[in-house]
A and B are shown apart, each in its own frame.
Chain A
Amino acid sequence: MITAIATLVALAPAPQQGLPNLQPGTKAPAFTLADSNGKKHSLASFAGKYVVLEWTNHQCPVVVRHYKDGHMQATQKWASEKGVVWLAVVSSAPGKQGHVTGAQANDVMKAKGHNCAAMLLDPTGEVGKAYGARTTPHMFVISPNGTLLYNGAIDDQSSNDPGASRNYVKAALSEAMAGKAVSVPTSQPYGCSVKY
């Protein structure tokens, strides 16, 4: 039981600054972005399907590791075979690490063996900031009715526990497709900061 307060300091409330933190259960922000071939994609056009957004930067060492061991491509393939629309998004600003032109994006996808439906280019960072994308990778899973199901890390491998291994995106999709609640709807994403 806390009684008298002898000293009170640091009373200024922390200003709510920085990126938004989208909560699962809320509507995923609408967007329209051109892909590496100039074709425009809007979230609304994928209504009725599960959508995964993967923020990426092909030069970020954490992304490199996920592709080097084939882990990300395997997850993309697994999801695509289940009818999920998997979109990679690049929000690196021109001149910053990971920025790509359309042609460079196609080269990256080919070289890395991507299994995503498209790589979307967001050089202004507008969509990344609307989603509060913080790291590469940073993952979002969206339900067929446009509701956010998952916001966070690809897996629990940021921990030092070598025994830990849970792919949060696969888990969220599997649970949602089975009509279950997503057991881990958020986790702290890890990786390089998005180079806005």
Chain B
Amino acid sequence: MLALALALAVQEDSTPHSSVRLSALRQYVPGVALTATVHIELEPSWHTYWKNPGETGEPTRVRWSLPEGWKLLDEAWTAPSRFTEGGMTYFGYAGRAAIRATVLPPKDAADEATLNAHVQYLVCSDACLPASADVAVTLGRASRPPSLDAGPDGVVGPPFPEKLGNAGEWWLEEGRVKIRFPAQEGFEPGDFELFAESPGLVDPASQPLLASRSRPGSHFEFTLARAGFADDKLSDVTFVAKHSKLLDVSYQFVAIQRPPRRN
């Protein structure tokens, strides 16, 4: 008994100051896509990082393990927030983060299916601690899609960014980064802050130097400072545009590199 108590006492918490769970509807239909969501809940004053952590930190990683024949179609992350600490800017989450997979079961899927996710992240406050978790959810097979009153798959908090596809473009102008994406009805360009999913293009510390609406075509256009740690090989860069006040308004778009103009 004492030995067991001691063993428990020295067992390390693999998710310090945080917890991880995986949610999904309890049933799936063969050949019909469904979602499963990893939720990371953080204690107050602790944070973790987005896929581009900014000037410090490390990307949160999710490795999905699906039954044979299942396909991972898409992965979506809730929009990050911008934080500054000691003159450094980082992108991440306080409170909670969610990463949602869209998966496709095969038409001949077996009766029961278990979806697994290995989640690895840094959890930081004044100090940083490693965290990792293996989470799983088992689904039964149904012949018809679950009724709507089965509810969502447990997602609470801000929704995932609305996908706009290859709707944007970027280019360099006078050493700065210009980014355009389609204007969103009812909003002004200055309502948004931008986050690049890849490091190496935009200086993480840069707020929009200029946000404007162009005509015709009605695009939002942003000017940002170029990354000090520039990656010259970037071509297409995915961005998240997040409304700075309305938590449920965010968009994700791919910005294609505009070819240099010929003189």
A interface residues (Cβ-Cβ under 8 A, vs B): 2-11, 13-14, 17-19, 21, 23, 59-62, 64-65, 96-97, 134-135, 151-152, 158-160, 186-196
B225, CB-defined interface residue at 8 Å:
yes
User: Of A2, A17, A186, which one neighbours B205 at CB under 8 angstroms?
Assistant: A17
Does the CB pair B212–A8 fall under 8 Å?
Answer: yes
Does the CB pair A188–B128 fall under 8 Å?
Answer: no
**A83–B210 CA distance with the chains assembled, in angstroms:** 49
Does the CB pair A96–B56 fall under 8 Å?
Answer: no
Which residues does chain A contribute within 8 Å of B85, judged by CB atoms?
A: 193
Which residues does chain B contribute within 8 Å of A5, judged by CB atoms?
A: 212-215
Does the CB pair B58–A190 fall under 8 Å?
Answer: yes
Does the CB pair B87–A17 fall under 8 Å?
Answer: yes
**A23–B228 CA distance with the chains assembled, in angstroms:** 8
**A6–B221 CA distance with the chains assembled, in angstroms:** 11
Does the CB pair A193–B213 fall under 8 Å?
Answer: no
Does the CB pair B229–A160 fall under 8 Å?
Answer: no
Per-position 1/0 for B208-239, Cβ under 8 A of A = 11111111100101000101111100000000
Which residues does chain A contribute within 8 Å of B207, judged by CB atoms?
A: 10, 14
Does the CB pair B229–A96 fall under 8 Å?
Answer: no
B65, CB-defined interface residue at 8 Å:
no
B interface residues (Cβ-Cβ under 8 A, vs A): 51, 53, 55-59, 61, 85-90, 122, 124, 126-130, 188-190, 199-200, 205-216, 219, 221, 225, 227-231
**A2–B212 CA distance with the chains assembled, in angstroms:** 10
Interface centre among B61, B128, B211 (most CB of A within 10 A): B128
Which residues does chain A contribute within 8 Å of B87, judged by CB atoms?
A: 17-19
**A19–B9 CA distance with the chains assembled, in angstroms:** 42
Whose C-beta in chain B lies nearest to the C-beta of A18?
A: B87
Does the CB pair B127–A6 fall under 8 Å?
Answer: no
Does the CB pair A190–B53 fall under 8 Å?
Answer: yes
Q: From known contacts A2-B214, A193-B57, infer whether A61 and B130 are also in contact, taking CB-CB under 8 Å.
A: yes
**A16–B221 CA distance with the chains assembled, in angstroms:** 22
**A144–B56 CA distance with the chains assembled, in angstroms:** 29
Q: From known contacts A19-B88, A61-B122, A186-B228, infer whether A10 and B210 are also in contact, taking CB-CB under 8 Å.
A: yes
Does the CB pair B58–A62 fall under 8 Å?
Answer: yes
Q: From known contacts A190-B58, A191-B56, infer whether A11 and B210 are also in contact, taking CB-CB under 8 Å.
A: yes
Whose C-beta in chain A lies nearest to the C-beta of B52?
A: A188
Whose C-beta in chain B lies nearest to the C-beta of A92?
A: B127
Does the CB pair A9–B57 fall under 8 Å?
Answer: no
User: Of B127, B206, B221, which one neighbours A59 at CB under 8 angstroms?
Assistant: B127
Does the CB pair B58–A9 fall under 8 Å?
Answer: no
